[in-house]
Structure 1
Amino acid sequence: MGIPEKSLIGERAQRVYERLNQGTDGEWGMDRNAWDWVPGVGVISQLAYYERNGSPEIIADLRRWVAANRHRAGAVNVINSMAPYAIFPALYRLTGESGLLEEAKRIGDWMRFEAPRTRGGAWEHTVTEDASFPEQVWADTVFMAALFMSRLARVTGQEEYAEEAVRQLTLHLRQLQDEATGVLFHGWDCRAGNPLSGARWTRANAWIALATPMMLEELKPFGTIPDEVPERYRTLMTALGRYQLEGGLWPTVLDRPDFYTETSGSAGIACGILYGIRQGLLEPKLQAVADRALPAVLERIGSDGTVTGVSGGTPVLQTVEHYNEVPCYPTLYGQGLALMLLAEYNGAKGVSGDGE
């Protein structure tokens, strides 16, 4: 199966964007009017769409969203709700609105000095829900918080933010990567010294597969990336290709091909491959993996732009089998990860779109 025409990819991307931007108040997975990781991934993806699309209306949409929702942020200073701040540095560069930068620096300092950490120095995964995960490191945190820190470093030029971003990325890769397979566990318990349920959850891998090249791009001016990071990243991405199913997607747990296939994690992994190749981190031959995923993701986009086959919010579950029981429904992060993948194909130079 070849790569679909760019015109088709672009049309589907716009539908996905419009559905994401519409949202649905009161519906957990699609509620844009909140300040948490779910709408955070949504607005991060909208910014990525703008970077590959260039439409000023996208920035106008993001500015309206910030104006309508930033007042909700004050009461939710937890790591998992940092995701929306990742668009602040770019909006500051584009608009010159100093309040965006000041707020981003305030949050960056909270993350540096006050955010709970594990005994090894990684940010403890904290959430807005009434739950706590003491001494736990989750893969989600890299996309939800460390990405913001790398962008704050870039816009301010401050080494302290860059050092923290690199520290968190390195610690998460080091603690979560399964040396036997090369892929990532969903979480790690620093007290018990084990990977909790031991689930090699696909979307956990997608968060870091995509966030790593995004972060390294922001951190280039600082030259502080240890060799361990790109080495571990290449190991991860090569290993992920081995778990891709024949139809182009990945099962919701990587090493359980009998589990259902999941769209958001698949889109995130494929997009991470494209980002990594574009930045020279990965060998171009890995694009074949992403090319197999693209048509399968497109098949899961409804006529109204809704991305289907997206698993719901998933903490580190008690057993691997429980991951196959997570229901699927539309979510802003499902819309967002699919949008980023489509935008990368539609806007990427040198990506074939001739349908052959």
Structure 2
Amino acid sequence: MQWASAGERICSYMLEDHTGNWGLDLNQWDWVPGVGVIALLEYGRPEGREAVRSKLLQWVERNGSKAASARVINAMAPFAVYPDLYRETGEEALRDAVVRTADWMIGEAPRTREGAFEHTVTENVSFPEQVWADTVFMAVLFLARAARLTGSEAYAREAVHQVDLHLRLLQDEATGALFHGWNSGEGSHMSAARWTRANAWIAAAVPMIHKELAGLASLTDESLGRYRRLMRALAGYQRPGGLWTTVLDRPDFYEETSGSAGIACGMLLGIRAGLLEPELRTAADRALPAVLDRVAENGEVRGVSGGTPVMESVEAYGRIPCHPTLYGQGLALMLVAAEEEAEREQR
């Protein structure tokens, strides 16, 4: 199976030493390595991949102390692996970090006037009163996992509330797709770009959050309805070759790998969770080989657009250069992991 070999190569490339390369250096604390370690955890769950999980423990030992200087919403992503690592090791320091961080998110993290987490970043720049789709994956997923670990209803309620707010504020009522961001102060979606990777973050995160909250809280009917509408809309934007262009409704823009992988992963996870109709499997099945075709022999995932804030115009998204990144590797690896799980369930 092509995807099995690709998964091994993608994982190996991520674990190589890429010191000094912002997009690929795993040994830092921010959203980029955060997506990387979340993906490694998903890929490392099956029996026989203990070596991958061991690498994650080593990663925390090397990098966990760096979290103190990166207390912003966008850098919460790496904490999402802590609950699983705590269950595996019983190391109380991991659980303590989960509780301390979740308490900070609920009690101190900046919010917009609607109550959504403001999208704060480690770079020396601010986005006051801005809501980004990225936050659902980077921060709300962790909060849901913190709720599952601790049994905290407060964490669970906040995770549900944030999913509600982000879908409500970002969904384009005309198409069902999501805009990249919302500016609460201006009351606008700024450039109003239906950016593909923004849609991918929520496509993948919602079924993961749903799974973590089971038995503690349920996503609202509004959120589930909006999510289903989103995923149906995304299927309609898929290009004939199986990928999505970097802005959904701009077929003249380049086809982009990370957003495509995240959307397809979300489809597989959503179907498995019972949130989406099985017919969406067709779109995911078309996307998988197209994503894997962009995995080089050395495991490098190609065709991944650079990291970006909400751009000043839709046209600006079409000019973002592509280069290998941990989030590109990670979303492709998560797609492989989701396909593996689907295959296991069919046996």
Normalising to structure 2: TM-score of the pair? 0.98
- Contact map agreement 2:156 2:217 (CA 8 A) in 1: no
Instruction: State the partner residue of 1:323.
Output: 317
Rounded Cα–Cα distance in structure 1 between residues aligned with 2:6 and 2:88? 27
Equivalent position amino acid for 1:78 in 2: V
- Contact map agreement 1:53 1:347 (CA 8 A) in 2: no
Q: For residues 1-356 of structure 1, what are the structure 2 equivalents within 5 Å?
A: 5=1, 8-52=2-46, 54-349=48-343
- Contact map agreement 2:157 2:217 (CA 8 A) in 1: no
Rounded Cα–Cα distance in structure 1 between residues aligned with 2:157 and 2:177? 25
The structural deviation recorded for 1:352 is 7.6
Rounded Cα–Cα distance in structure 1 between residues aligned with 2:316 and 2:47? 39
1:146-168 deviations in whole A, cap 9, x for unaligned?
A: 00000000010010000111111
- Contact map agreement 1:52 1:348 (CA 8 A) in 2: no
Q: Give 3-state SS (helix, strand or coil) of 1:222's partner.
A: coil
Q: Give 3-state SS (helix, strand or coil) of 1:290's partner.
A: helix
Q: 1:282 to 1:127 in 2, by over 3 A?
A: same
Percent of residue pairs identical:
59
Rounded Cα–Cα distance in structure 2 between residues aligned with 1:319 and 1:166? 31
Rounded Cα–Cα distance in structure 2 between residues aligned with 1:238 and 1:211? 16
Larger CA deviation: 14-23 vs 255-264 = 14-23
- Contact map agreement 2:132 2:181 (CA 8 A) in 1: yes
Rounded Cα–Cα distance in structure 2 between residues aligned with 1:330 and 1:33? 16
Q: Please list every run of 5 or more consecutive structure 2 residues that lacks an aligned counterpart in the other structure.
A: none
Equivalent position amino acid for 2:320 in 1: V
The structural deviation recorded for 1:189 is 0.5
Equivalent position amino acid for 2:74 in 1: N
1:271-310 deviations in whole A, cap 9, x for unaligned?
A: 0000000010011110000011011101100000000000
Q: Please list every run of 5 or more consecutive structure 1 residues that lacks an aligned counterpart in the other structure.
A: none
Rounded Cα–Cα distance in structure 1 between residues aligned with 2:32 and 2:183? 24
- Contact map agreement 1:89 1:100 (CA 8 A) in 2: yes
Q: 1:48 to 1:173 in 2, by over 3 A?
A: same
- Contact map agreement 1:53 1:343 (CA 8 A) in 2: no
- Contact map agreement 2:169 2:182 (CA 8 A) in 1: yes
Equivalent position amino acid for 1:319 in 2: S
Rounded Cα–Cα distance in structure 2 between residues aligned with 1:13 and 1:288? 21
1:56-103 deviations in whole A, cap 9, x for unaligned?
A: 111100000000001111111000000000000111111111110001
Q: Give 3-state SS (helix, strand or coil) of 1:188's partner.
A: strand
Rounded Cα–Cα distance in structure 2 between residues aligned with 1:52 and 1:177? 35
- Contact map agreement 1:30 1:332 (CA 8 A) in 2: yes
Q: Give 3-state SS (helix, strand or coil) of 1:198's partner.
A: coil
**Stretches (4+) displaced over 6 A:** 350-353
Rounded Cα–Cα distance in structure 2 between residues aligned with 1:48 and 1:239? 26
Rounded Cα–Cα distance in structure 1 between residues aligned with 2:219 and 2:286? 31
- Contact map agreement 2:153 2:217 (CA 8 A) in 1: no
Larger CA deviation: 140-149 vs 21-30 = 21-30
Larger CA deviation: 53-62 vs 335-344 = 53-62
Larger CA deviation: 176-185 vs 43-52 = 43-52
Q: Give 3-state SS (helix, strand or coil) of 2:276's partner.
A: coil
Specify which structure has the bigger relative contact order, considering alpha-carbon pairs within 8 angstroms and separated by 6 or more residues.
1
1:206-226 deviations in whole A, cap 9, x for unaligned?
A: 000000000000011113321
Normalising to structure 1: TM-score of the pair? 0.95
The structural deviation recorded for 1:323 is 0.3
1:181-201 deviations in whole A, cap 9, x for unaligned?
A: 001000000011110100000
The structural deviation recorded for 1:347 is 3.3
- Contact map agreement 1:117 1:123 (CA 8 A) in 2: yes
- Contact map agreement 1:81 1:127 (CA 8 A) in 2: yes
- Contact map agreement 1:52 1:343 (CA 8 A) in 2: no
